Structure 1
Amino acid sequence: MKFKTKLITTLVMACLFSPLASAMTQAEKIEDINKMLEGNPAIIDSLHESLAMYIAQQSKYEQTLADNHDYMYNNPNHPWFGAENPKLTIVVLTDFSCPWCKKLDPVLMQLLEEHPDDLKVINIYVPLKEGSNPANSATFALRVWKESPEKFNKISETLLSKPGVHNSRSIMKVAKANDAEKYVSTVQETQDMVAKNYQLFTDLGVRGTPAMLIDGQLLPGYLPYEKLAPMVEAKIAEKSGK
């Protein structure tokens, strides 16, 4: 019975919020939901709780976006690529030790090449997989970006190219190869920034990396070029008034 209640609640929630239901009018959705509830009154309490939770989460998500807008979009300490004054900006919550982040990066680079005047990508590093070590790939990369930006692209590419999770040894190897050992030692500023990145990640309700913010919409997980490109092109066209 508990499984059935959960299943029907999920179906009702899907009817309310799924893009698949976008073809239905609001009146049709309400009628459909009423029929489900009339036939399954046992789910009403569960559905009410789920809706209340969803609304609270959505409210927190929107407030987090508003409170952190400048931190995400106007912060020169976040590495960014592409157009200085873009039509569309993609904010990426990413991790040098995440295999799906490593797969997403070349997809984003390809899109930047195709839309050099219209697209910007901002990386917000959340080193989830490297534990509590303060000298992680994120703090290293952020110091390089701020103090030796001419080295950043090469170092970023090398960090992304390593399979698996980074550790102190792999980070130092990258640093030595690029004459950047002094940036492996952390400073409070970068530690505070990574901590804030993690708090932002948590407040947005993200459960893993990568995750992209595109025009206020959160897209969790990896998307291949074939799926991401049409979305990006549609947003750019929309903002260009086409």
Structure 2
Amino acid sequence: MKKLFSTITLLTAVSTITPLSAAPLDADQQQLVRELVRSTLIENPEIFVEVMGELQKRERQAQADAQRASLDNNKDRLFNTSGDPFIGNPKGKLSMVYFADYNCGFCKRQDPILEQMVKQYPDLKIIYKELPVLGETSREAAELVLAAHQHHPDIYQKLHQRLMAKPGGHDSASIAAAFKAEGLDVDELRKKVDGTIKATIDNNQRLAAELGIRGTPAMVFADEILGGFTNADQLSDKVKSRLN
């Protein structure tokens, strides 16, 4: 009540000094307004808390609106890009996009959870978008994996799992070893990394930027972006609520 009274007093005083039809305030009137505002805020500092809370609320709403608009504008690029690797049901009722990097520690934790999700929910399809953001070997691995997917699609998932299973980051030797373990010749695959594969990764990076995705892992539904690692229970709830 005290805060409300103080605010009303302030507004009344200001409106008395500056009626709508009045000329601009002179120096004395401006000083009086400043003193009234200052004293009101000093006596009622909780006003700052309320103002900051309202600003944060409006900022969150603006971010949510922008995210929804971006998702709507990029729906085809997310869910209907031909040739993207995926796991799960190709005709599933629910699709989710997964942005990942083979040097990302949190992706290595996220990956088994996604495999669990497609087993738990037969109507789920998870689309992989290679997003190398952690250095040159991230890009090297992504390009070679897409070349493998293009020419040896039956080996893609095992290769993906093997690369994700290595603790820590990759170097060129560990990447080559993973491919060799799956019976693939890295040198031959390097020759098949063409402009289309490079463009796919570039497009993934542009798409992620437009969606406000700054790192990996990131999972995208048609109506929501999950940035960072998401545990099994949380992700299961997200999937279940959209399938029901």
For 1:72 and 1:216, the matched residues in 2 are separated by 12
Which residue number in structure 2 is paired with residue 137 of structure 1?
A: 141
After superposition, the Cα gap between the structure-2 partners of 1:160 and 1:120, relative to the gap in structure 1 and judged at 3 Å, is same
Q: Quote how far apart the aligned CAs of 1:63 are.
A: 3.6
After superposition, the Cα gap between the structure-2 partners of 1:125 and 1:135, relative to the gap in structure 1 and judged at 3 Å, is closer
1:68 alignment partner, one of 74, 80, 83: 74
Which residue number in structure 1 is paired with residue 6 of structure 2?
A: none
For 1:201 and 1:69, the matched residues in 2 are separated by 12
After superposition, the Cα gap between the structure-2 partners of 1:135 and 1:210, relative to the gap in structure 1 and judged at 3 Å, is closer
Q: Is the counterpart of residue 149 in structure 1 residue 153 in structure 2?
A: yes
2:178 alignment partner, one of 174, 181, 197: 174
Which residue number in structure 2 is paired with residue 31 of structure 1?
A: none
The 5 Å alignment of 1:1-242 reads: 40=46, 57-116=63-122, 118-131=123-136, 136-177=140-181, 178-181=183-186, 182-185=188-191, 186-237=193-244
For 1:137 and 1:74, the matched residues in 2 are separated by 24
Q: Which moved more, 1:219-228 or 1:120-129?
A: 219-228
Q: Quote how far apart the aligned CAs of 1:152 are.
A: 0.7
For the aligned residues, what is the CA RMSD? Answer: 2.5
After superposition, the Cα gap between the structure-2 partners of 1:226 and 1:50, relative to the gap in structure 1 and judged at 3 Å, is closer
5+ residue gaps, structure 2: 1-43
Kept in 2: contact 1:89–1:214 (CA 8 A):
yes
1:205 aligns to what SS in structure 2?
coil
Q: Which has the larger radius of gyration?
A: 2
Which residue number in structure 1 is paired with residue 26 of structure 2?
A: none
5+ residue gaps, structure 1: 1-37, 238-242
After superposition, the Cα gap between the structure-2 partners of 1:59 and 1:106, relative to the gap in structure 1 and judged at 3 Å, is same
Q: Quote how far apart the aligned CAs of 1:176 are.
A: 2.4
% same residue: 27
Report the AA paired with residue 69 of structure 1. Answer: K
Q: Quote how far apart the aligned CAs of 1:83 are.
A: 1.0
For 1:97 and 1:157, the matched residues in 2 are separated by 13
For 1:45 and 1:199, the matched residues in 2 are separated by 36
Kept in 2: contact 1:88–1:215 (CA 8 A):
no
What stretches of structure 1 move > 3 A for 4+ residues in a row?
A: 38-60
Q: Quote how far apart the aligned CAs of 1:139 are.
A: 1.1
> Number of residues paired by the alignment?
198
Q: Quote how far apart the aligned CAs of 1:66 are.
A: 2.7
After superposition, the Cα gap between the structure-2 partners of 1:103 and 1:151, relative to the gap in structure 1 and judged at 3 Å, is same
Kept in 1: contact 2:103–2:138 (CA 8 A):
no
For 1:183 and 1:130, the matched residues in 2 are separated by 20
For 1:105 and 1:49, the matched residues in 2 are separated by 37
